[in-house]
Structure 1
Amino acid sequence: MVMVAGCGGAYYLYQHFNNNLTSVKVDVGSEEERPKAAGDALNILVLGTDSRQGLGREYGDEGSTGHADTTLLFHLAKDRSNATVISIPRDLMVPIPDCQSADGKTRIPGTARDMFNNSLGQSGRDPGCTWKTVEKVTGIRVDHFVEVNFEAVKTLSTAVGGVEVCAAKDIDDKDSHLKMSKGRHVVQGDEALAFVRTRHAVGFGGDLTRIPLQQQFISSMIRKIKSGDTLTSPTKLYKLADAATKALTVDSGIGSVDKLKDLATDISKVDTKNITFATVPVLDDPKDKDRLILKQPDAGQLFSMIANDRSLTDTPAPAAPADTPAAAAPATTAPTATAAPVDPKDVRVTVRNGSGTRGQSGPTVEKLKAKGFAKAAVASDAPAAATTTITHAPGQEAEAAALAAALGLPADAAEADPKADPRGPLLLVLGKDALGATSGPQQPPSEAPKDLQRVQADDTDVCAK
């Protein structure tokens, strides 16, 4: 009887939580238009809307349609060792592509330059339009989206028994209704919502000031959910699952309790110290002091790291099995030479074009010279080649590795030719994979931009200033 009752209860809960969920199907364009996926890595778009529908006049703009007020792109590494969460400011000026209305019957024209938060709600745009906008701006493949509103912040913070936050000074914000003394506080419900909405009484008073507060709040909530106090309490777990499934709108790809549970399990594998929150690097828009533009090349550097599954935290690579020879592990990028450092200005390189497209050697030589390979030179075209290769004489391994690293080529692109003159130049043959070779093959960055705003999820000393 106990077993039957238990199974019946589990089925009831499963149906209950499934019925709580709201899932929608969105149009994100054809595969040809979208960035390539990063293997088993996952990118979840989290949309915090400022919809006031059903909330009366308490928060102003009664009944207004929700826009992309708070947007987070949550990147989960393919080996689940780390996660990166980037905040996209709502005032960022971006191109918004053509979109389809929620019912799929109406085309909504895109705009060449618009506020990011208008990618949702404005002119009937749905989360699929924000999804497409993020992919277009960042070059990062999005896998799923999760949408939350004001009520979600209130119910989720209450379900976990409150979230600890910190204020570095007294805060009295009449717009968000937050009145908080200096120090640490546990907030939930309306006070939690007021904390993540406040901006006029902290920092410079804008959206960029509010973002670190939101990152602090979410980091603290993650710590609270992962704590034994929450995970070992059936009552708290039920309240959290009930609140979450009622609060979330998700895409149809994760529109069931089973799929959300699998996603939560993946996220739970990441150590809190390896979850990094950061804000997309931006500058004031020279055309409008109240708007922002991407700060380049910093923003592109951050986007490239995420698109190529590079971590913002130092996480050790998974250990190889004990019976696996070290030499059997394939290298994905050129190794650093263990011999004396190579000075690029002393390395002679001959560049031949085998890409099948004329005029590719010259730009590659210019790129190499910009990287210090002053003795790079153009030679006659080579027969057509599928891949880019480096040929060198025995004893020139360090020079070849340095050249491969400069071009972002894999280690096996360099090959020794026993007949090559050890006093001669390295031979670089551009293949079809050079993609036009106007800038040469690119290696994903391994370090984040300098001065990147960031918050570590395990940092308990972050306070609103």
Structure 2
Amino acid sequence: MDAQSRGQAGDIDPADQWVFDPDTGDYKLRPLSPGVPPSPSPAAATQAPGTPRTPRTSRTPSPSSPGSPGSPGSPGSPRSAPRSTTSHATGRAAVPSGAEVPRQRRRRADDAPAKAGGTPEGRRAAGGRAASRRKAKPKKSKKQKVLLWTGGVTAFLLVGTSAAAYVLYNHFNGNLNTVDVGDAGDGGGFGGDGPVNILLIGTDKRTGAGNEGYGDKNSPGHADTTFLFHVSADRSNATVLSIPRDLITDIPDCPTKQEGGETEIVPGEQGARFNTSLGQAGRDPGCTMRTVKELTGLDVHHFMMADFNAVKTMTTAVGGVEVCLDKPVKDDKSHLDLPAGVSVIEGEQALAFVRTRKSFGNSSDLDRIKIQQQFLSSMIRKFKSNDTLTDPGKLWSLAEAATKALTVDTGIGTIKKLSDLGRELSGINPKNISFVTLPVIDNPVEKVKATVVPDPVKAPQLFAMMQNDISLTEVEKKEKAAKKKAQKEQAALLEGPRADASEVRVEVLNGGEIAGAAQATLTWLQNTQNVLKSSNGGNAPEQLPKTVLEYAPNQADQARKLADLMGLPASALKQGTEDAEGLEPMTLTLGADFQGAGIPVTAPAKAPEDIQKVEADKQICAK
């Protein structure tokens, strides 16, 4: 957007303002858009009082309107000339420092033949030099440099924000929709030292031309597709957690801001479908953020939400994305019609691809999640390709489409804040982005299996990895540091012989947040691990943030065995200075990090086996 399209006559691009008049041999102002008063030319401004002014010649404005792709001053133009300002005192156009007004350029060209001796050869030489200067290849404008610099954000974030980060124009602020979610998000995350967690929500709201025919056209927009985008503290990697819409979970009470400014509490629900955390009973995206925090134990800093139209407009803006099918698909419900192999899809076909459920796997929503992860991985590769990043026209279209389709929380509700976020996340390599689905099992209370619940063992392990900022990808620097630290701790505290499980004596105390944890652990130790010489010590005198195993030097072999069974880190072992006497047991106090009997207390170094996972830098054909 340049100044003319904003109606600011004092911010007009000189390259658009001045035109050469062959009849008079002078530069003139061309007519501006209606409602924008022209600034007087330098020639007119410097004429002596009483001298007749040279009449202006009219000129038809360029058909490329300022601010549009391909016009001067727009992101699609080959150059972006410096701006001029207008003096309010004189009404004259003040030329920026270092700029050259058109009349000065003409005088210097006229003086060149004289400096060359006034000969025809000198005039030709001078003219050749002037022409050479005029034909010099323009440097990339600051706007284009910004476009290329901020172009590396991950796919769904790109669907939500990165296009806005490409172009720093106030114009796009008007496209953004914002929701005040109160304290559901802490407003932090980026710009600091810790991880950033952004909730990416795709709703089933049927807005946009042609979308009313998909399913329930009156849907208020539920959390149909939800990703928790976790970016590591060092910004080297990201884990994108897919949360199934049919997951049964608890939805907490949710304060929501009403149109009149007042706050209304929407009551929570126990054992509800996850997708009803949005839209149902007036719940806003802040309710979904609160639900995810309660489910995963992770603080959710911000949200970004897009509807059906986003998939169509974003994929069209970049010229389509590649997908791969193991077999041809013709789906009557989603209207997806693609051959086997690689296809480039956009618009309606792209929306059909992410909506298709019956044509892949066992026709479940979990299989559709795999398709959506593959699609977003392909989008990441497309958005980070030179084909997109070096095409200002595509970037402009991408910015327009993304900001119109996007709703965000007020904490990131401006182009400036989205730009800052885009820059901060732009360095993540696609090979260090993992899409993973929340591990689930069929709902045990249902006879006809229609919903799922979190896997009681694998889900807590995955949450623990994300809480401790451990990457699912091969990040070499992080791996080496973690291995080195773990090796030192293990060598110092866990090397040596292990006692037999039947010889381990331990009293278990509950110093954590889970009621009955000590008895549950005791039952697990006795019934499944053969630790029969164990007892329940009840509640600890105070709650502890971390689990601690206290033992005497002559109980070290028992401590090592219990550490193996419980998955205790070396830091949990606290050895005393005096040997135990007789049948004195060790003391195991469960802390807030205890997740349940049989679940390792320490965050695992590897992701649990057999969880569904897609790497963003690899193309996988849908089956």
TM over 0.5: yes
Closer/same/farther in 2, CA of residues 160 and 413 from structure 1, 3 Å limit: same
Aligned partner of 1:453 in structure 2 is 612
Instruction: Measure how far apart 1:245 and its partner are.
Output: 2.1
**How far apart, CA to CA, are the structure 2 residues paired with 1:361 and 1:58?**
55
SS where residue 490 of structure 2 aligns?
coil
CA contact (8 A) 1:334 1:405 kept: no
Instruction: Measure how far apart 1:230 and its partner are.
Output: 2.2
AA in 2 matched with 1:345: A
AA in 2 matched with 1:87: S
CA contact (8 A) 1:363 1:437 kept: no
**How far apart, CA to CA, are the structure 1 residues paired with 2:509 and 2:568?**
16
Task: Report sequence identity in percent.
Answer: 44
1:76 aligns with 2:231: yes
CA contact (8 A) 1:82 1:311 kept: yes
1:296 aligns with 2:451: no
Map Cα deviations across residues 438-459 of structure 1 (whole Å, 9 max, x no partner). Answer: 9699322333333212211112
Alignment of 1:5-404 (within 5 A): 13-27=168-182, 40-56=194-210, 57-103=212-258, 104-285=262-443, 286-318=446-478, 334-335=489-490, 339=495, 342=498, 345=501, 351=507, 374=531, 388=548, 390-393=550-553
Deviates more, 1:170-179 or 1:296-305: 296-305
Closer/same/farther in 2, CA of residues 218 and 398 from structure 1, 3 Å limit: farther
Instruction: Measure how far apart 1:211 and its partner are.
Output: 1.2
**How far apart, CA to CA, are the structure 1 residues paired with 2:470 and 2:292?**
19
Instruction: Measure how far apart 1:269 and its partner are.
Output: 2.6
**How far apart, CA to CA, are the structure 1 residues paired with 2:215 and 2:508?**
65
AA in 1 matched with 2:613: R
Instruction: Measure how far apart 1:403 and its partner are.
Output: 5.0
SS where residue 75 of structure 1 aligns?
strand
AA in 2 matched with 1:181: P
CA contact (8 A) 2:494 2:570 kept: no
SS where residue 476 of structure 2 aligns?
coil
**How far apart, CA to CA, are the structure 2 residues paired with 1:318 and 1:377?**
38
Size of the aligned set, in residue pairs, is 450
Instruction: Measure how far apart 1:106 and its partner are.
Output: 3.1
Closer/same/farther in 2, CA of residues 291 and 28 from structure 1, 3 Å limit: farther
Aligned partner of 1:34 in structure 2 is none
Instruction: Measure how far apart 1:253 and its partner are.
Output: 1.7
Closer/same/farther in 2, CA of residues 341 and 230 from structure 1, 3 Å limit: farther
SS where residue 335 of structure 1 aligns?
helix
SS where residue 74 of structure 1 aligns?
strand
Deviates more, 1:405-414 or 1:270-279: 405-414
**How far apart, CA to CA, are the structure 2 residues paired with 1:126 and 1:92?**
19
SS where residue 450 of structure 2 aligns?
strand
Aligned partner of 1:35 in structure 2 is none
CA contact (8 A) 1:335 1:405 kept: no
**How far apart, CA to CA, are the structure 1 residues paired with 2:496 and 2:240?**
39
**How far apart, CA to CA, are the structure 2 residues paired with 1:8 and 1:39?**
29
CA contact (8 A) 2:168 2:416 kept: no
**How far apart, CA to CA, are the structure 2 residues paired with 1:263 and 1:97?**
29
Closer/same/farther in 2, CA of residues 28 and 292 from structure 1, 3 Å limit: farther
Closer/same/farther in 2, CA of residues 76 and 398 from structure 1, 3 Å limit: farther
Closer/same/farther in 2, CA of residues 315 and 405 from structure 1, 3 Å limit: farther
Closer/same/farther in 2, CA of residues 349 and 114 from structure 1, 3 Å limit: closer
**How far apart, CA to CA, are the structure 1 residues paired with 2:314 and 2:590?**
52
Instruction: Measure how far apart 1:129 and its partner are.
Output: 1.3
SS where residue 206 of structure 2 aligns?
coil
CA contact (8 A) 2:553 2:578 kept: yes
Instruction: Measure how far apart 1:145 and its partner are.
Output: 0.8
AA in 2 matched with 1:254: I
AA in 1 matched with 2:224: D
RMSD after superposition = 4.3
Instruction: Measure how far apart 1:338 and its partner are.
Output: 8.0
CA contact (8 A) 1:82 1:274 kept: yes
1:442 aligns with 2:613: no
CA contact (8 A) 1:348 1:373 kept: no
Q: Which runs of 5+ in 1 are unaligned?
A: 32-37
Deviates more, 1:365-374 or 1:199-208: 365-374
Deviates more, 1:448-457 or 1:147-156: 448-457
SS where residue 246 of structure 1 aligns?
helix
Closer/same/farther in 2, CA of residues 221 and 419 from structure 1, 3 Å limit: same
Map Cα deviations across residues 225-257 of structure 1 (whole Å, 9 max, x no partner). Answer: 122332233333333233222221111122222
SS where residue 271 of structure 2 aligns?
strand
Q: Which has the larger radius of gyration?
A: 2
Instruction: Measure how far apart 1:193 and its partner are.
Output: 1.0
CA contact (8 A) 1:155 1:189 kept: yes
Deviates more, 1:95-104 or 1:61-70: 95-104
**How far apart, CA to CA, are the structure 2 residues paired with 1:282 and 1:179?**
31
Instruction: Measure how far apart 1:192 and its partner are.
Output: 0.9
Closer/same/farther in 2, CA of residues 253 and 380 from structure 1, 3 Å limit: closer
**How far apart, CA to CA, are the structure 1 residues paired with 2:275 and 2:333?**
20
**How far apart, CA to CA, are the structure 1 residues paired with 2:345 and 2:394?**
16
**How far apart, CA to CA, are the structure 2 residues paired with 1:236 and 1:370?**
63
Closer/same/farther in 2, CA of residues 340 and 350 from structure 1, 3 Å limit: closer
AA in 1 matched with 2:225: T
**How far apart, CA to CA, are the structure 2 residues paired with 1:52 and 1:296?**
35
Instruction: Measure how far apart 1:199 and its partner are.
Output: 1.4
Map Cα deviations across residues 383-428 of structure 1 (whole Å, 9 max, x no partner). Answer: 978974645549x87875665565565645546666648x999974
**How far apart, CA to CA, are the structure 2 residues paired with 1:438 and 1:165?**
41
CA contact (8 A) 2:335 2:352 kept: yes
Deviates more, 1:164-173 or 1:286-295: 286-295
Instruction: Measure how far apart 1:171 and its partner are.
Output: 0.9
**How far apart, CA to CA, are the structure 2 residues paired with 1:174 and 1:59?**
12
**How far apart, CA to CA, are the structure 2 residues paired with 1:355 and 1:296?**
21
Instruction: Measure how far apart 1:50 and its partner are.
Output: 0.9
Superposition TM-score, scaled by structure 1 size: 0.79
Closer/same/farther in 2, CA of residues 273 and 398 from structure 1, 3 Å limit: farther
AA in 1 matched with 2:169: Y
**How far apart, CA to CA, are the structure 2 residues paired with 1:360 and 1:211?**
34
**How far apart, CA to CA, are the structure 1 residues paired with 2:299 and 2:536?**
39
Closer/same/farther in 2, CA of residues 222 and 379 from structure 1, 3 Å limit: closer
CA contact (8 A) 2:243 2:437 kept: yes
**How far apart, CA to CA, are the structure 2 residues paired with 1:75 and 1:437?**
21
Map Cα deviations across residues 166-209 of structure 1 (whole Å, 9 max, x no partner). Answer: 11111111221211111110111111111111112232223222
